[in-house]
Amino acid sequence: MPEETTAAPPAPPEDAAKSMANPPPEPTEEWATRYKYLLADFDNFRRRVERDREAISRQARAGLVRELLPILEAFRSARSTFSKLPPNDPVRKGLDLLDHEWTTFLKHEGVEPVAIVGKPFQPEEAEAVGEAPATDDCPPGSVVEIVQQGYRFFGGLLRPAKVLVARAAEPGPERESAEGGPASQE
């Protein structure tokens, strides 16, 4: 029988043996820098998720409040009708209590009314649906009457108000001559 010779595996070169036994040390500064960047990225991510969650929550609450506004207005209309009842009437007391609860709820949610009678008209927050003559309490350019109240929610406009705006009284003789002048010449 032929003799089998087992060949020994080739000996690794000297450089490879040294590199396997003692791997080159990784610079710790590089890992520390990577760690700092990773930690900063994670912190930014956490803040962004928190902001997004708050924005989604605020949008959901704004939607709910917007849906409740017609109910609030119907209640306030009914309350004004029952305001003629005596102050000690149980129905009036109950409506006053409900009005207080509505007001507390809206304040807690950060909802504020936009239009105030006598204050200057704000076209960014209100829609002028008509005009009324100016009075001592309501100078020209101010809100005379609130047709439908508007609301602000955390600084943003939830719904614009619909108001009547005071207009300046036009002088009588000039107006008559302006109207009558061209018409009488024709």
Q: What's the CATH code of the domain at 142?
A: 2.30.22.10
Do 35 and 103 lie in one domain? The reply is: yes
- The radius of gyration of the chain's CA atoms, rounded to the nearest angstrom, is 38
Query: Are 59 and 104 in the same domain?
Result: yes
Predicted confidence at residue 134, as pLDDT, reads: 85
Within this chain, do residues 96 and 132 fall inside the same structural domain, yes or no? Answer: no
Residue position matching structure tokens 């609030």: 72
**Claim to verify: residue 36 and residue 102 sit in the same structural domain:** yes
How many domains, the chain? 2
> What is the DSSP code (8-state) at residue 12?
P
**What is the span of the domain harbouring residue 55?**
28-109
Mean pLDDT of 62-69: 92
116 and 104 together in one domain: no
CB 100 within 8 A of CB 116: no
- Segment 31-47, tens digit of pLDDT: 889 999 999 999 999 99
Residue ending a domain, among 90, 109, 128, is 109
Q: Strand pairing partners for 132? A: 166
154 phi-psi bin (left φ>0, alpha ψ -120 to 50, beta other):
left
Q: What is the pLDDT of residue 46?
A: 97
